[in-house]
Amino acid sequence: MRICIVQKKIEWANPTLNRTEIEHFINDYLENQKEKCSKEIDLIVLPEMFSTGFCPNPQNLAEEKKGSSIYPSVQWMREIAKRYDCAICGSIAIKENISYYNRLFFVYPDGEFKFYDKRHLFSYSGEDKNFTAGEKQVIVDYKGFKLLLQICYDLRFPIFSRNKIIQKNTLSGSEETYLYDAIIYVAAWPQSRIAAWDKLLLARAIENCCYVVGVNCVGEMKQQELGDKKIFYSGNSTIVDYIGNSIISCNSDGKEEIQMGCIDLESLNIFRKNFPVLKDSDSFKL
C-alpha cells in the first residue's frame, strides 16, 4: 500500500483556507510525482484537526450537520478521495447533538467512511472538559490491510492499542490472524515533547509487530483558549516498519512536507511467521 503523509501547517480556526491549502499541497505533490514515476497513491493521511488546528474548546469551531447534509470537511475528503481514487483520513472537531468529539474519519475512494472518536482526551489542555471520549477501538479494512485508527494522545497508552493473535476457523481448519496490520496516528504533537513522539511510535510498532504511520502538523500556532499562547509543532511525521526501521520520515524543523512510503503485507506476514512474538504476550481484557 502506498501511503502519502501530509505534514502541514494549519491556520488557526480557518477551515476553508486549510482545506484549500491542503488540496493544493497534495495536488502539487502528486503532479510532481507523475513526472518521476507512475506510482499511484492508495492512502492520504492528514494531521489531527486538520481544518482548524487543535482546539481544546470546540465551541464555534466544531463542524455540525445541517439536516441531511454531511460535515463540510468530510464532504471535502470525499471529493479528494474520488479525485485521486484513494482513501483519505484525518480528524476534525465535530458536534453531534449536544456532544463534541475529536473524530478521525477514514474515507474510502467510493465516498463511504468509518470513524473513530478519540479515547484519551488531553486533560493537560482541557480537552477532556469539552469533548466526549470514544469508547471503542476502530479497525478499518482497506487494500488487504487492517488499520487501527488512533489520535495523538492515544500514543501514550499502549494497552488500548495492543495487538493480538486471533484464531480463525475456516473450512480447512483453524488459522491464525492478527487483530491489525498497521496503526495510524494523526497528531498535533508539540516540539517541546517531540522526543516522546519519536520513541513511542517506534515502541508501538515493535511491541505490536505492525507498521506505524504517524502524521503531525508543523509551524507556530496561536491558540486563544490558551491565552494566545504560541505553540510550535516541529513535524517528525514518519512511517516505520514492524522492527522499528524508518520507511520514510519528514523533516523535524517545522517545515511543510509530503512524503510517500510503501508498506508491504507479504513481508510483514513472513516476519510474523518467523518471529511469532505475540504468542508469548499476556492475555487480558480491556
Q: Give per-residue pLDDT as tens, 154-193.
A: 999 999 999 999 988 777 767 889 999 999 999 999 999 9
Cell 467510493 identifies what position?
110
Which is nearest to 240 in space by CA: 185, 188, 278, 277? 185
Backbone φ and ψ for 149, nearest 5 degrees, come out as -95, 130
Assigned C-alpha cell, 269: 506476514
Closest CA to 151 of 111, 184, 115: 184
**Rounded Cα–Cα distance for residues 80 and 75 (Å):** 9
Amino acid at 234: S
Selected catalytic residue, list 48, 55, 89, 250: 48
Separation between Cα atoms, residue 129 and residue 99, nearest integer Å = 11
Handedness of CA 222, 224, 229, 231 (dihedral sign): negative
pLDDT confidence tier of residue 35, bands split at 50, 70 and 90: low
- By mean pLDDT, which of 14-18, 63-67, 110-114, 187-191 is the weakest? 63-67
Between 200 and 285, where is the model more confident?
200
Domain boundaries 2-280, CATH class: alpha beta
Percent of the chain with pLDDT over 90: 84
Q: How confident is the model at residue 228 (pLDDT cuts 50, 70, 90)?
A: low
User: How are beta strands 2-7 and 165-170 bridged, if at all?
Assistant: unpaired
Q: Is 217 an annotated catalytic residue?
A: no
pTM: 0.96
Q: Assign 3-class secondary structure to 182-235.
A: EEEEEECCCHHHHHHHHHHHHHHHHHHCCEEEEEECEEEEEEHHHCCEEEEEEC
Is the pLDDT at 38 greater than 70, yes or no? no
Mention every residue, 6+ apart, whose C-beta is less than 8 A from residue 76: 19, 23
From 152, 209, 217, 250, the catalytic residue: 152
21 is catalytic: no
Say which range, 27-41, 159-173, 212-226, 245-259, has the weakest mean pLDDT: 27-41
Per DSSP (E only), the strands in 30-76 are 43-45
pLDDT at 104 over 70: yes
Helix 15-36 and helix 72-84: axis angle, to 10°?
A: 10
Whole-angstrom Cα distance, residue 117 to residue 100?
Answer: 10
Q: Is 118 a catalytic residue?
A: yes
pLDDT of residue 227: 61
